[in-house]
Every structure is written in C-alpha cells, then in structure tokens.
Amino acid sequence: MKRLLLTLCQLMLSLGLASPSLSQGLDTSALELALYGPDREVTDFARDSARKPVQVLDFLGVESGMTVLDLYAAGGYYTFILSKAVGETGTVYAQNTERGLRFVEDRQNMTQGEALNAKIEQGNLHNVIQIVRPLPDIGLAENSLDFVIVAQTLHDYYNPNSQRALEMLLQLKALLKPGGVLGITDHIGVAGRDNRDMHRMEIQQAIELALQAGFGVESSEILREPRDDHSRSIFDPRLNRSTDRFLLKLTKPL
C-alpha cells in the first residue's frame, strides 16, 4: 500500500497535480529600477506619483512571461511599464484605434501614435505588438491572455451607455484565460454629479458592472486621493491630474 501511495504521489508531482505551482510574483525592485532608466520619458516618470504603477501591477498579479493587453494604450504609459514587467519571455499587445492615435498626447507636442512609437523605439520594447483596430475586431484568440489593463477608460464607455461598457467587459473576459485578470483604474465620481462631463464614474457602478459580467472582484485603496474635489473635471488644472481613483482586480472564473 505504501509503495502504491508513493507511486501515486510521484505521478501527481510529475503532472503538476499535487499542489498549485508556486508563482514567482512581480520583481518590484527590478521594475522600479527599470522605470528610473534613461530610456523612459520624463513626462511619464512625472505621472508615477499619482498612478503608482509598480504597486498597481503587483496588486493585480502581473508576472514575468505573461501575455498581456493594454487596452486603448494611447501614448503608451502602461505599455512601457508592462513591457518591463513581463520581460523578454512575455508579450504586450498595445491596442489603439486609428482615431485615437491621432489625438494629441497629454502635455506633449506630438500625437499619441507618435508618442507610443517613440517609447517602443527608445525603450527597445521588442515584446510589444501594436494592434490598431477596435476591440470587437481585435483579432486575438479567446482564452489567450493572462492579463488586461483598462486604465482610466471605463467611464468613457459607461457614462454614455452602460450596456456598451458591459459588452466591453464581456469581450475582454472572453479573451482572458480562466483565472486571468482584468485590472481597472478610473477617476472616482459621486452620485448626483454630472460624471459624464467630468470624466468620472462611481466605484459601485464599476463593481456592479463587473459582477454582472461574471467576474470575481477585489478592490484596493492604493490610488485613493482624499484631497480630490469630485465636483471638478479631471482636466481642471487645479487638480493637476491628482484625482481620487479606484483600482479593481477582476478575475475570470476557472
């Protein structure tokens, strides 16, 4: 009997069934060092104090070797960071639309497309693949992604049409592998305000949307900013883009 049990244990170990594989996690020290490198834009570095990207990706479970999607990557703030986080064995898809690439990059004299191309070239981001097409026509296989980030964009879908936001979450859920994670950050709005005009949304609206889409939901206080005036637009210069933000970790069921 003992010999039989030993044989079964050996078989389970060889198949990886005895226990979950131990995750290496995110090397936060190495990522922080990479973000201080000379190949990174100073304007992006200046955003880090409000966006806390290393803490955010650590909470969301991003690891080396992952296949990830930066939805509406714009000028590539998170594209650069994700590229360094997943490393040479990982892949980053930076998605934009033709229209979006023509927008002027925040506080820079170039388009978002030009800013993204510059980041990829200057940072030697060989693991980045650009996708220039809308999400419904993105061309990625279902169950192919480990991680997706939607940074400060969900409100643009939700405020005009909550059903459109739900459809977006369902489309992203289909792209994620079982157990994959969708990370969402956005500017916090309050009930009774014109959140559409201020480019904000309520936390509870995002949570209810995620639950409706069938995700498991965890939240973090990492990006909270108590000094924010929720009655102002996120573009109000008095806020200097230091807004109160929520951070959600949405997990696709196994």
Q: Give a yes or no: residue 70 inside a domain.
A: yes
Q: What is the pLDDT of residue 107?
A: 60
Alpha helices per DSSP H over 146-249: 154-158, 162-175, 195-198, 203-212
Which tokens go with 139?
């061309």
Q: Give a yes or no: residue 4 inside a domain.
A: no
Q: Which domain holds residue 198?
A: 46-251
Calculate the alpha carbon distances from 194 to 138, 154, 156, 203 in Å. 32, 16, 13, 15
What CATH code is carried by the domain that includes residue 67? 3.40.50.150
Q: What is the pLDDT of residue 192?
A: 81
Q: Give a yes or no: residue 16 inside a domain.
A: no
Q: Give a yes or no: residue 241 inside a domain.
A: yes
Handedness of CA 202, 219, 78, 49 (dihedral sign): positive
Q: What is the pLDDT of residue 108?
A: 67
Q: Give a yes or no: residue 125 inside a domain.
A: yes
| Number of Cβ within a 10 Å radius of residue 174 | 14
Which tokens go with 155?
């409100």
In angstroms, the CA 29 to CA 22 distance is 20
* pLDDT by 10-residue block (mean), the chain, 254 residues: 42 38 73 93 90 97 98 96 97 94 77 93 96 96 98 91 95 98 95 81 96 98 91 76 92 98
In angstroms, the CA 129 to CA 96 distance is 11
Q: What is the pLDDT of residue 232?
A: 84
Residue with tokens 């992006």: 44
Q: Give a yes or no: residue 198 inside a domain.
A: yes
Q: What is the pLDDT of residue 195?
A: 78
Say if strands 145-151 and 176-187 run parallel, antiparallel, or are unpaired. parallel
Instruction: List all residues 6 or more positions away from 225 whose beta carbon is below 8 Å from its beta carbon.
Output: 50, 242, 243, 244, 245
Q: Give a yes or no: residue 213 inside a domain.
A: yes
The total domain count for the chain is: 1
Which tokens go with 188?
């916090």
Q: Give a yes or no: residue 25 inside a domain.
A: no
In angstroms, the CA 112 to CA 50 distance is 20
Say if strands 67-70 and 145-151 run parallel, antiparallel, or are unpaired. parallel
Q: What is the pLDDT of residue 23?
A: 46
